[in-house]
Structure 1
Amino acid sequence: MLQIQASREAPPLIDDARRARLVFCLVAAGVMAAALLALAASLLQDPDSWWHIKVGQDILASRAFPTIDTYSYTFAGHPWIAKEWLGQVLLALAYDAADWSGVALLTIAMVVLTVFLMSWHLSVWLKPTLAAGLTIVLALLIDPVYIARPHIFTLPIIVVWTAYLFDAARNEQAPPLWLLPLLCLWANLHATFTFGFVIAAFAGLDLLMRIRLSNPALLAKWVAFGLLCPLVSLLNPYGVKAILATFTVAHGNEAVPYIMEWRPFNASEHGFQEMALLTVFFGLLVSRLQIGWAKALFLVFTLHIYLTHIRFIYLFFLLVPIVLAVEVAQQYPALSARKWAEEKRDGLEQFFVRRFRQVWGGIAVLLVLASAAFIATYPVAPSQKTSAKNALAFAQTRNLSANLLNSYDFGGTLIFHGIKTFIDGRTDQLFLNGFAKADEQMGRSGGKPVLQAQLDKYAIDWALLTADDSRIPFFDELGWKRAYTDDYAVIYMRDH
């Protein structure tokens, strides 16, 4: 059985080593901030960013939380909840403050905070240079999740949640109760808060592996903590509905197979991540690292979730290193923070220690100045691949207001601009009961009859399609008039 006896205390770090460690973590965060500022526009290319901001704006304006759909005409009046309301409000506030540049900066801030926390927790056990370098690599591996959507606010939370729970298990202590308010915050930010329950369960298994049944009182505290997790998660505007809504996707609704981020991992499309996975398992095999059965189960679980749905890439690449860092440090002392702390500081580290305040202040000033310059000089905005900016301007000049059929990727911008959608990114709760399946079938070979049926059923008078929408030939065959076209969008109108 793979098992080790972990130390009960974190390695002591003397003051200069602690300062050097902090600076390395700040440097890692600064490197990530610079990289993301240079690529800020890429953070705004998800079509769902549009409707998340609009929902947040509507919540702020109405001071009410939606319970039915008011954004589509196909499912108007159906039950729908903004279960990620707080994340949507934060995105809306950023947009209202500084347009899309504000949204990008807020997204960057969350990623940078995650990088800092990640490197900080890793450097408790691993030498700071290794922790900072590894964190930057891991942050690059999960770059597909760096988009302006509510889940971005949960990345720092999940790092802290995992680190402190497994630390409590390792030290044979009760889980910190201050984590419960953090979970409550998580539950109002994004639906992935239910992963918090699962992570707590794995940390509890790690404790059980260590103490077995020798301390019933401690085990009872962990069981009580586990029971409190779903209870504090009910402290949101929708109560138990927010928890139940996560299960509709977790068990797979009909729309899941058609949405890119919910598809299984494909090595041909994610070569960088495949190489990283192979490297991880090669290292585990040749090193014979002993991690215990509870952590081995956690590794398998996070890998399964990632391979099943690529959107959860961060669960594996962020959390597994945090959980295994102590075993690496104890079984390979040359890589440990304890060994590093006992060594004489090299020239670079001595510079960091001597110039701690200046380095820390310098990084902060540079980031503030870079952010200000970014907003003033390099305003960013979503591409027309999701905004359909010129096509919507044309539709406005023609007063096109009747029911439309839209490509999935234009649903967000339509909601943002106050146009009722045929379909949009809220498929976790809406566009079900055969609707999403029919939408997908319309674009297949032989899908023209399905398209014709939907056009007639919903009395559709115009269509806004992406330039590569596979239904475009069918509209030509049905005699619809192509009223507008550019490199990103096509507008068809019914020829009455």
Structure 2
Amino acid sequence: MNQTKAILLATPSLEDAQRNRLIFCLLAAWAMAAALAAQAGATLQDPDSWWQVKVGLDFLANRTFPTVDSYSHTFAGQPWIAKEWLGQIVLALAYQAGGWNGVVTLIIASISLTVFLMGWFLSAWLKPILAITLAFAAMFLINPIFTARPHVLTFPIIVIWTAVLFGAAREERAPPWWSLVLVVLWANLHATFTLSFIIAAFASLDLLARTGLSKPALLAKWIAFGLLCPLVSLMHPYGVKAILATLTVAYGNEAVPLIMEWKPFSQPDSPVQEVAILLALFGLLVSRLRIGWAKALFVVFTLHVYLAHVRFMYLFFLLVPLVIAIEVAQQYPSLSATAWLVEKRDRLETFLARRFYAICGAAAVLTIGGIGLLSSAYQVAPSPKTSASGALAFAEGHHLSGNVLNSYNFGGTLIFHGIKTYIDGRTDQLFLGGFTKTDDETGHSDGKPLLEARLKKYAIGWALLSTGDSRIPFFDQLGWNRAYADDYAVIYLPGA
């Protein structure tokens, strides 16, 4: 009798288990935030962060949606839309609130929320410690794309969208109509919203694999939901233009092979990710795990997209664990949340459950305090490799005028500082028609004639180049004078 009573006392109530699960996820999110804060400046390495914030700031100032380019001198007046306007406004609001510290805090918050959501959805099926470990592993593997740009703001959305739709398919019920709000939000935050259509299609295939044609009414609801996805995404200032602009990049343009994030997977550049993929493949081959043909297709799709374009690594590492977690739990019961529920609670879990509200309050206080500390004691700034701060100060001090020819990585900072660019990171819509390809060729060994022709064609009055720009010797040979140089940037002026 006493033994039975002891077992009942040691076995947690469902409420205590849920509290423990929530605390584990909260602590994981807080730990991720702390880890990212320790290297906060790393999120400001991307040159596009500059112009993303600037577009948002201009929208807040002008309250108009741009339809033509006003940021470059080479494509001024050409059609261009700020298709990620909401993401850019959110970044701009963060910048207005706290400068670059505010932007970094926003990005850290989005990533930490993603960790929480992954832990929460995974721990519905797997032991919390395993769920948190998988969430941390996924975030570690996609760390290279943690940059201050709108795509990071969509991570929580894509996790919720995937978990909810595949959950509905698993339970053989209609997808929740409220989730269409996520499509609208996603569509206005970032151009990858068309992925929501594809994920919904795979979830419906999973339902079809489970039910066949035995539930036509349910299948009809899923078809209607799938048709509504692209329709609600049109709730966007630019309507169908946003979808068309996204498809243009998806099918490739001349700039895609030249931009690092759009290049295919390269083993020397991503050895850790390669090891993770190979270990996952090895585990699949030696295990008895079976996930069904629909989910297998989804895994293959996410891997294909990642191998085709490295920027999509998050599709594979974030979404695959969410989609197959239930099969892992069912086929390996010792790893399941059910097994964890009947285990004897250790002292730590008992402590966490009994002090749930105190721990949540302490976590909130520490979070607010950490944000305050980050804002006041630790000032972050974009990488000097993209800011060209010394060179721009020289240009302002010496009143340099005329059209500039700039290295690609300085396009963002030029836009931010109100200087019209020669080229910048908006190659999804601009700098096409042979422009980007020819610009790349000016840096080849035989590119001097092309460069000379461009200097004349675009009436270049000065050049702002990164120190590693292969065109620097050509400027010397063409008689241009080096007016400024530091560790990161060089300014050339025409010879007398």
Q: Same fold (TM over 0.5)?
A: yes
Corresponding residue for residue 483 of structure 2? 483
For 2:27 and 2:95, locate their aligned partners in 1 and report how far apart those are by CA, in whole Å: 28
1:110 corresponds to: 110
Q: Match for residue 147 of structure 1?
A: 147
Q: Which residue of 2 aligns with 1:137?
A: 137
Counterpart residue type for residue 439 of structure 1: D
Q: Distance in 1 between matches of 2:446 and 2:349?
A: 67
**CA displacement 1:333-358 (0-9 Å, x = unmatched):** 00000111122212221121122122
Q: Which residue of 1 aligns with 2:157?
A: 157
> C-alpha distance in 2, partners of 1:251/1:13?
53
- Counterpart CA distance in 2 for 1:233 and 1:134 is 31
Which residue identity does 1:161 align to in structure 2?
A: W
Give me the whole-angstrom Cα distance separating, in 1, the residues matched to 2:51 and 2:411: 8
Deviation at 1:145, TM superposition (A): 1.5
| Structure 2 counterparts to residues 78-227 of structure 1, below 5 A | 78-227=78-227
Report what 2:428 is aligned to. 428
- 1:465 equivalent in structure 2: 465
Shift of 1:214: 0.3
User: Residue 70 of structure 1 contacts residue 76 of structure 1 at CA under 8 Å; is this kept in 2?
Assistant: yes
- CA distance in structure 2 between the aligned counterparts of 1:362 and 1:136, rounded to whole angstroms: 22
Cα separation, partners in 2 of 1:13 and 1:293, compared to 1, 3 Å: farther
- The AA in structure 1 aligned to 2:391 is A
- Over 2 Å off, 4+ runs: none
Alpha-carbon displacement from aligned partner over 1:113-169 (angstroms, at most 9, x marks no partner): 011001000000000011011111111111011110011110000000000000000
How do 1:68-79 and structure 2 match up within 5 A? 68-79=68-79
Q: Among the aligned pairs, what percent are the same residue? A: 67
Distance 1:13 1:107, change over 3 A: farther
8 Å contact kept, 1:28–1:133: no
**Structure-1-length-normalised TM-score:** 0.97
Where does residue 7 of structure 2 map in the other structure?
none
Q: Distance in 2 between matches of 1:417 and 1:30?
A: 35
**Residue deviations 1:181-233 (CA, integer Å, cap 9, x gap):** 11101000000000000000000000000000001100000000000000100
Match for residue 492 of structure 1? 492
- Measured in 1, the distance between the counterparts of 2:400 and 2:357 equals 60
Alignment match, 2:54? 54
Contact kept in structure 2, 1:467 and 1:489, CA below 8 Å? yes
Within 2, Cα distance between the matches of 1:19 and 1:157? 24
Superposed displacement of residue 461, structure 1: 1.5
Show structure 1 runs of 5+ residues with no match: 1-11
Displacement of 1:447 after TM fit?
0.7
Q: Which residue of 1 aligns with 2:416?
A: 416
Q: Do the aligned partners of 1:68 and 1:81 also contact (CA within 8 Å) in 2?
A: yes
Describe how 1:75-474 pairs up with structure 2 within 5 A.
75-474=75-474
What is the letter of the counterpart of residue 397 of structure 2? T
What SS does the aligned partner of 2:483 have? Answer: strand
RMSD (CA atoms)? 0.9
**Structure 1: which amino acid aligns with 2:366?**
L
- My pick for the range that moved more, 60-69 or 365-374, is 365-374
Equivalent residue letter for 1:468: G
What code does the residue aligned with 2:420 have? K
Q: CA deviation at 1:31?
A: 1.1
Q: Distance in 1 between matches of 2:421 and 2:341?
A: 59
Structure 1 distance, partners of 2:361, 2:322, is 28
Aligned equivalents of 2:214, 2:140: Cα separation in 1: 43
User: Residues 107 and 483 (structure 1 numbering): CA distance in 2 closer, same or farther, change over 3 Å?
Assistant: same
Find the aligned partners of 2:384 and 2:390 in 1 and give their Cα distance: 8
C-alpha contact 2:163 2:322 (8 A) present in aligned 1:
yes
| Count of aligned pairs between the two proteins | 485
Q: Secondary structure at the match of 2:463?
A: strand
Provide the C-alpha distance between the structure 2 equivalents of 1:439 and 1:179, rounded to a whole number of angstroms.
Answer: 44
C-alpha distance in structure 2 between counterparts of 1:383 and 1:271, whole Å = 24
- Return the alpha-carbon distance in structure 2 between the equivalents of residues 417 and 406 of structure 1: 14
Q: Distance in 2 between matches of 1:235 and 1:178?
A: 15
Q: Is the 8 A contact 2:88 2:150 kept in 1?
A: yes
Which residue type is aligned with residue 16 of structure 2? D
Quote the Cα distance in structure 2 between the aligned partners of 1:191 and 1:74.
24
1:94 to partner: Cα distance: 0.6
Indicate how the Cα distance of structure 1 residues 355 and 442 shifts in structure 2: closer, same or farther if over 3 A, else same: same
SS in 2 for 1:329: helix
Question: Judging changes above 3 Å, is the alpha-carbon distance between structure 1 residues 172 and 272 closer, same or farther for their aligned structure 2 residues?
Answer: same
SS of match in other structure, 2:23: helix
Distance in 1, Cα, partners of 2:149 & 2:125? 32
* Aligned mates of 2:286, 2:306 — CA distance in 1: 24
CA contact (8 A) 2:128 2:337 kept: yes
Cα contact 2:134–2:321 (8 A) shared by 1: no
Contact 1:52–1:91 (8 Å) recurs in 2: yes
CA contact (8 A) 1:404 1:462 kept: yes
The 1-side partners of 2:449 and 2:373 are apart by 53
Does the CA-based 8 Å contact 2:87-2:190 persist in structure 1? yes
In the aligned structure 2, how far is the partner of 1:369 from the partner of 1:444? 51
Question: How big is the shift at 1:13?
Answer: 7.7
Write the letter of the residue equivalent to 2:280: V
Give the gaps of 5 or more residues in structure 2: 1-11
Aligned partners of 1:361, 1:426: CA distance in 2, in Å? 43
TM-score of the superposed pair, with normalisation by structure 2:
0.97
Deviation of 1:288 (Å): 2.3
* Distance of 1:64 and 1:84 partners within structure 2: 14
Q: 1-side partners of 2:137 and 2:197: how far apart?
A: 28
Corresponding residue for residue 16 of structure 2 = 16
Contact 1:13 1:338 in 2 (8 A): no
SS at 2:160 equivalent: helix
